Chains A and B, each alone.
Chain A
Amino acid sequence: MNLSNIKKEFPIFKNKNLVYLDSANSSQKPQSVIARINDFYSNEFSNVGRSVHALSIAATNNYENTRISVQKYINAKSKDEIVFTKGATEAINLVANTFGQKYLKEGDEILLTELEHHSNYVPWHYLRSLKGVKIKFAEVNEDGEVSIESIEKKITSNTKIIAVTHLSNVTGAILPIKEITELAHSKGIPILIDGCQGAPHLKLDMQDLDCDFYTISCHKMYGPTGLGILYAKKKWLEELPPYQGGGGMIKEVKKDSISFGDLPNKYEAGTMATAQVVAFDQSIKFLEKIGMNSVIQHEKELIDYGQEMLRKNNSVKLVGNPKKKGAVLSFTIEGIHPHDIATILDEDGVAIRAGHHCCQILHETLGITATARASLGIYNTKEDIDRLNSSINKCKKIFNLK
């Protein structure tokens, strides 16, 4: 697929004025994904896994087909290791809840990092009052990275699980997750990787990475909202208790006892986001058609171009300077609050996000209340970065800055 024409695949860019730089928040959707949702509801809709009629069988096959696509895409060993959830947030809640229930007790420690999104902190927080566990944070350095050393420093004999982001949604730092996983395993500690920002931008190989849990947000990956993926090693899904109870996840229900379904049904209670799952297959096909190597190369060129341009721009300060950086450009402008920047940029059709990006701990550590963030997707171009820069200059003019 030719990347120079990629915007044509996304109906939203019929609006030629739009410069969409908020993909870390949520990405836009290609026509193939939108069409698949429409088609499924129009011609093929049925609930899955319950009835024996033809529609239900076809829908079930489509639904399970996406599971196999995801398995192949992330190179998981078995399709039973892929659990659909309502989002990455639910995927992390699932692990925190069930792992906490079964394995954690007072005095145990959970190790996170200062880079974590609230969704990889708040679910663990509940275990403080429920189980009396402690939460520790590996420190971020001034470049906005978390090194393997800073993680090692915080591991104690009480550390029972480590949960770290793959790619920071603020500084863009790509963490050395393979080395962190090796370190964790060398000490017998399981590891969860929050792949919300990693999955849309990096190549994934679960068998090579060997992590215990990996969570994905489908709407950040050119897919529908309301859908997330939990990858978990089979042994964990077998050992951990179910998360939610309801239809679809049971084997046998009696007045005095209940047995639970096989994997992965055990973790998919109730009617799932069927159309979204079916359509997500198209998101994977879309990425496969481009090829992750092309995605990585294209985004690297853009991020280098963007960093260089913003560094040259007086009074713009980039937040974080990690050696390995993903598709995020967070910045501040001395004298203009990020929310004012975002409103003024929006007037030019440049859509960015401002605030703490669900990372209050990181912002406090960095000593800033908020940042402006331009985040990239496969559809962005150097012209988009040029327009970002010229809108920033307009902000400075309105606020009388040089």
Chain B
Amino acid sequence: MNIKELYQEIILEHGKNPRNLRKTDNFNKDAKGYNPLCGDNVHIYLKLNEKKKVEDASFEGSGCAISMASASIMTDLVKGKEENEVKEIINDFLGMIKINPELKSKNLKDDERTKLMCLSGVKQYPMRVKCATLSWHTLISAIDNTQEEINTERLD
């Protein structure tokens, strides 16, 4: 496997200039995530309207290029989507990173699917999968408002 497949231009670009790296004003859902092995941390903020549509998504935190790019791409693409659509996309993404060859969700546009597939390179690097999934697990926690800090060492 070529290292360039892991560090594709789009990952490097999002890693260097992460979108939505801020704190949403008047957010109504949030959660923190932490990877104790490498010290990566993320805090996800969501603002859902009364119809449970994501008006804004943002994050704060620090980490490697993979984890920053993943959080950046994720917060970008959940904006404007409804909560149940977001949940379906999260499951689809985590399924793809773990086992599935492709993304199946009908809630993703073609360009969104292409962007997410750029993260599929981590499948070849088991130790780096958690870098790509930390923000996604944290997003689930934010939506469900579990108040529990996500710790990658307690996940499958």
Determine if B128 is an interface residue (Cβ-Cβ < 8 Å): yes
Whole-angstrom distance from the CB of A295 to the nearest CB of chain B? 31
Determine if A392 is an interface residue (Cβ-Cβ < 8 Å): no
Residues of B within 8 A of A369 (CB): 39-41, 62-63
Residues of B within 8 A of A347 (CB): 3
Interface residues of A in 320-354 (CB under 8 A from B): 335-340, 343-344, 347, 354
Residues of A within 8 A of B6 (CB): 343
Residues of A within 8 A of B64 (CB): 337-340
B7 lies within 8 A of A355 (CB)? no
A360 lies within 8 A of B7 (CB)? no
The 0/1 profile, CB within 8 Å of A marked 1, for residues 120-140 of chain B is 000001001001000000000
Interface size class of A (residues with CB under 8 A): 10 to 19
Determine if B96 is an interface residue (Cβ-Cβ < 8 Å): no
- Count A/B pairs, Cβ under 8 Å: 50
Whole-angstrom distance from the CB of B62 to the nearest CB of chain A? 6
Residues of B within 8 A of A400 (CB): 12
Cα–Cα, bound, A339→B131 (Å): 9
Interface residues of A in 133-173 (CB under 8 A from B): none
Interface residues of B in 40-72 (CB under 8 A from A): 40-41, 62-66, 68
Residues of B within 8 A of A360 (CB): 39
Interface hub of B37, B39, B68, B131 (most chain A Cβ within 10 A): B39
A339 lies within 8 A of B12 (CB)? no
Number of interface residues of B (CB under 8 A): 20
Whole-angstrom distance from the CB of A342 to the nearest CB of chain B? 9
B7 lies within 8 A of A340 (CB)? yes
Query: Known contacts A336-B65, A337-B64, A343-B125: does B4 contact A355 (CB below 8 Å)?
Result: no
Determine if A373 is an interface residue (Cβ-Cβ < 8 Å): no
Residues of B within 8 A of A305 (CB): none
A355 lies within 8 A of B39 (CB)? yes
B128 lies within 8 A of A343 (CB)? yes
The 0/1 profile, CB within 8 Å of B marked 1, for residues 359-402 of chain A is 01001000001100000000000000000000000000011100
Whole-angstrom distance from the CB of B135 to the nearest CB of chain A? 15
Determine if B155 is an interface residue (Cβ-Cβ < 8 Å): no
Cα–Cα, bound, A338→B128 (Å): 12
Determine if A233 is an interface residue (Cβ-Cβ < 8 Å): no
Cα–Cα, bound, A72→B154 (Å): 44
B65 lies within 8 A of A340 (CB)? yes
Determine if A220 is an interface residue (Cβ-Cβ < 8 Å): no
Taking a contact as CB atoms closer than 8 A, the residue among B3, B12, B37, B68 that contacts A355 in the complex is: B37
- Measured CB to CB, the nearest residue on chain A to B4 is A398
Residues of A within 8 A of B99 (CB): none
- Measured CB to CB, the nearest residue on chain B to A370 is B39
The 0/1 profile, CB within 8 Å of A marked 1, for residues 7-42 of chain B is 100001000100000000000000000000111110
Residues of B within 8 A of A201 (CB): none
- Measured CB to CB, the nearest residue on chain B to A398 is B7
A354 lies within 8 A of B38 (CB)? yes
Determine if A356 is an interface residue (Cβ-Cβ < 8 Å): yes
Whole-angstrom distance from the CB of B11 to the nearest CB of chain A? 10
Interface residues of B in 54-97 (CB under 8 A from A): 62-66, 68
Cα–Cα, bound, A220→B79 (Å): 50
- Measured CB to CB, the nearest residue on chain B to A336 is B65
B39 lies within 8 A of A363 (CB)? yes
A339 lies within 8 A of B38 (CB)? yes
Interface hub of B3, B6, B63, B68 (most chain A Cβ within 10 A): B3
Whole-angstrom distance from the CB of A368 to the nearest CB of chain B? 9
Whole-angstrom distance from the CB of A335 to the nearest CB of chain B? 7
18 more contacts with CB within 8 A, not counting A336-B65, A337-B64, A343-B128, are: A337-B63, A337-B68, A339-B38, A339-B40, A339-B64, A340-B64, A343-B125, A344-B7, A347-B3, A355-B38, A356-B39, A369-B39, A398-B4, A398-B7, A398-B12, A399-B7, A399-B16, A400-B12
Question: Top 4 closest A-B pairs, CB basis?
Answer: A337-B64, A339-B64, A347-B3, A369-B39
